[in-house]
A and B are shown apart, each in its own frame.
Chain A
Amino acid sequence: MTEFGGDAEAMYREHILDHYKHPRNFGVLEGADIDHREDNPLCGDDIRMMLKLDGDGRVADVRFHGRGCAISQASASMLTERAKGLTLEAIKGLQRDDLLQMLGITVSPVRLKCAILSLVVLRDGVELYEKSHAPG
């Protein structure tokens, strides 16, 4: 059988496959304060992020739902672990490189959009929430 053995096999390292096959915080969060979904029609990756906030405005609970490639789903799973306990300000401060660091791989330009979709959904969800809750 073909052994791949190169960059791609490295890309599918154990912890990425682990998050892909056993996603953390996967499901629907009832009564979420923030519930936002976006997809990438070009490749069919689809991510929905749901957050519940506590009295201090920190993330008390988080879930994601969706389907897509291993990179997109693993990155969403890792991002939910990271988001728990953060303020909305801190979430808005999360950068592409933070996500890539969590994934621990270099991503080709074509696959970058898979890797960062979850972050885009999360940040857009927070921004929409803040707009609709802006004073005045």
Chain B
Amino acid sequence: MSFDVERVRKDFPILDRMVKGRRLVYLDSAATTQKPTPVLEAMARYYARSNANVHRSIHTLGEEATEAYVGAHETVARFIGARGLEEIVFTKNCTEAINTVAYAWGLTNLERGDEVVVTRMEHHANFVPWQQIARAKGATLRIAPLDAEGRVDLEAYGALLGRRTKIVAFTGMSNVLGTITPAREMIRMAHDAGAVALVDGAQSVPHTKTDVRALDADFLAFSGHKMLGPTGIGVLYGKMDLLERMPPFQFGGEMIRRVEDENSSWNDLPWKFEAGTPMIAEAIGLAAAVDYLNGLGMDNVREHEERLVAKAYAALAAVPGVTLYGPKPGPERGGVVAFNVEGAHAHDLASLFDDAGIAVRAGHHCAQPLMRELDVPSAARASFYVYNTEAEVEALASAVARAREVLA
């Protein structure tokens, strides 16, 4: 099936919205994506027809809700190639998924003198948890450097790995540079050093086909709202034997088997890691989003974005005074373009673009260690998804040129 962006756009009611008298041009999907009608309808249908708590309700509504909630785990498991729903833990967001590993795995497996390896391009969500857990356990955080194009310097990364390395945590795709990391190779190198590997898939899972078994990833974390799903739900994939050996992260209802006065025992996977009433409607919305993406085909999604990013890169590079960050368009580049305009602060750019109805991100993008390395306080970022068009890329380039005239 060929990819028809105009047909896709019809599924996103928000794209009809006017902003300041202009048709919305939404180029901030790396922050959060818009939601297609099937996702909105699945969530509304659940609340309108089946709303009940899950797992133990012995009535029709409760059974429907439980079936949909459990089914959402299975849908997500298939989407990333997991062995089964036991390996799929629903969390609040990607950040909570990473924190679950940092706490539940890190506190029990890290010891004084151990090392945790991250990269220079991590989002704070995959940097600060490791920094803090390492501090708490007397372990050391090592940061793999980047090369001049903004790719992980694999030689330097390899040199950081050793017998002290216990875990490697890195992004599947940088939310600033757009770099797609060689995850399979990096995981293999981590395993050769005897370490486990976590991939922050917040930016990669929504945009590229992901197969955790082909990657041999030990953990993978990602968010629902960056892949057409609702906010309030994230996913932690973990290899079953690792999850089995980890203690729970949070305690309470749903995650428990037997509670005595002094001791408790835990529920089976994945429920052991899902304390309290979970995000039921959000799980149903996420499953609908996965169905929608499967309908488009992840290869088509990637191809569409590759085309947009190549066009954006060329169009922006042609504007005088524009600096672009990250690798050139191609297999190592995702649908994100961060840039600066000489003489203009990124916040001023974003404010001006907003008047043209163009939504971009401006700031440090929750990646301060990277921004320090680039030696820029902030950058503007346009990011693309299934509903963006080449005309929107042209509108962005035109707005950049105009903003430079106003500001510089």
- Taking the complex as formed, is B100 at the interface, i.e. its CB lies under 8 A from any CB of chain A? no
Which of B346, B376, B402 sits near A4, CB closer than 8 Å? B402
Q: How far is the CA of A131 from the CA of B407 in the complex (A)?
A: 40
In the bound complex, do residue B398 and residue A1 qualify as a contact, i.e. CB atoms below 8 Å apart? yes
Closest partner residue, chain A, to B347 (CB atom): A69
Q: CA of A9 to CA of B407 in the docked complex: distance in angstroms?
A: 10
Which residues between 354 and 378 of chain B lie within 8 Å of chain A, taking CB atoms? 354-356, 362-364, 368, 371, 376-378
Pairwise interchain contact B377-A67, C-beta atoms closer than 8 A: yes
Q: Give bound CA distance, A41 to B124, whole Å.
A: 13
Given A8-B355, A67-B377, is A43 in contact with B363 using a C-beta cutoff of 8 Å?
yes
A11 to B345 CA separation, bound complex (whole angstroms): 14
Q: Does A56 count as interface, using CB distance less than 8 angstroms?
A: no
Q: A7-18 vs B: 1/0 string, CB under 8 Å?
A: 111011000010
Q: Which residue of A lies closest to B396 (CB)?
A: A2
Asked if B352 contacts A8 (CB within 8 A), the reply is yes
Q: Say yes or no for B406: interface residue by CB 8 A criterion.
A: yes
Return the chain B residue nearest A110 by Cβ.
Answer: B347
Q: Is A5 an interface residue (CB 8 A)?
A: yes
Contact at A70–B345, with CB atoms within 8 Å? yes
B364 near A42: Cβ-Cβ < 8 Å: yes
Residues of A within 8 A of B401 (CB): 1-2
CA A43 to CA B348, docked complex, whole Å = 11
Minimum C-beta distance from A135 to chain B (A): 40
B20 proximal to A (CB < 8 A)? yes
Q: How far is the CA of A111 from the CA of B351 in the complex (A)?
A: 9
Tell yes or no: A85 within 8 A of B by CB. no
| Residue of B with least CB distance to A108 | B351
- Evaluate contact between A68 and B345: CB separation under 8 angstroms: yes
A46 to B407 alpha-carbon distance, docked (Å) = 19
- Is B21's beta carbon under 8 Å from chain A? yes
Which residue from chain A places its CB closest to the CB of B356 in the assembled complex?
A: A2
Q: Is there an interface contact between B363 and A12, defined as CB atoms closer than 8 Å?
A: no
How far apart sit A103 and B353, CA to CA, in the bound complex (Å)?
Answer: 21
Contact call B345/A8, Cβ cutoff below 8 A: no
Partner of A7, one of B20, B363, B368, B406: B20
Minimum CB distance partner of A41 in chain B: B368
Chain A, interface residues (CB within 8 Å), range: 20 to 34
CA distance A17 to B403 in the complex (A): 12
Q: Is the interface of B mostly helix, strand, loop or mixed?
A: helix
- Bound-complex Cα distance A1 to B348 (A): 18
Cross-chain contact B377 with A8 (CB below 8 angstroms) = no
Within the complex, the shortest CB–CB distance from A26 to chain B, in Å, comes to 15
The residue on A at minimum CB distance from B379 is: A44
User: Is A114 among interface residues, defined by CB-CB distance under 8 A?
Assistant: yes
A3 located at the interface, meaning its Cβ lies under 8 Å from any Cβ of chain B in the complex:
yes
Which of A12, A44, A111 has its CB near the most chain B CB atoms (within 10 A)? A44
Contact of A6 with B21 at beta-carbon distance under 8 Å, contacts A42-B363, A45-B377 already known:
yes
Residues of A42-94 at the interface with B, using a CB-CB cut-off of 8 Å, are 42-46, 67-72
Task: Give the residues in chain A near B362, CB-CB below 8 Å.
Answer: 43
Known A-B contacts A69-B347, A70-B407; A7 and B364 likewise in contact (beta carbons under 8 Å): no
Partner of B345, one of A3, A41, A69: A69
Instruction: List, in ascending order, chain A residues with CB within 8 A of B269's CB.
Output: none
Q: Please tell me if B399 contacts chain A, counting CB pairs below 8 Å.
A: yes
Chain B positions 382-408 with a Cβ under 8 Å from a chain A Cβ: 395, 398-399, 401-403, 405-407
Query: B343's closest neighbor in chain A, by CB?
Result: A21
| CB atoms of A2 and B399 under 8 A apart | yes
How near does chain A come to B315, taking the closest CB pair, in angstroms?
13
A30 and B322 CA atoms in complex are apart in Å by 35
Q: Decide yes or no: A71 and B348 within 8 Å by CB, A1-B402, A46-B377 being known contacts.
A: yes
Q: Are B355 and A44 in contact (CB under 8 A)?
A: no
Contact between A6 and B20 (Cβ–Cβ < 8 Å)?
yes
Chain A residue nearest to B399 in the complex (CB)? A2
Question: Closest Cβ of chain A: how far from B394's Cβ, in Å?
Answer: 10
B27 to chain A: closest CB distance in Å? Answer: 13
Chain A 91-136 interface residues, beta-carbon cutoff 8 Å to B = 111, 114
Taking the closest CB of chain B, its distance from the CB of A111, in whole angstroms, is: 7
CA distance A8 to B356 in the complex (A): 9
Residue from A2, A42, A46 within 8 A of B398 (CB atoms): A2
Residues of A within 8 A of B345 (CB): 44-45, 68-70, 72
Q: Tell me, in angstroms, the Cα distance from A85 to B364 when the chains sit together.
A: 38
* CB-CB under 8 A for A5 and B363, given A46-B377, A70-B407: no
Across the interface, do A2 and B395 meet the contact criterion of CB distance under 8 Å? yes
Chain A residues in 8 Å Cβ range of B354 = 6, 8
Q: Check if B356 sits within 8 Å of A68, measured CB to CB.
A: no
**A–B Cβ pairs within 8 angstroms, 6 of them:** A2-B398, A8-B351, A42-B363, A46-B377, A67-B377, A72-B345
5 closest Cβ pairs, A-B complex: A44-B377, A69-B345, A6-B355, A4-B355, A8-B355
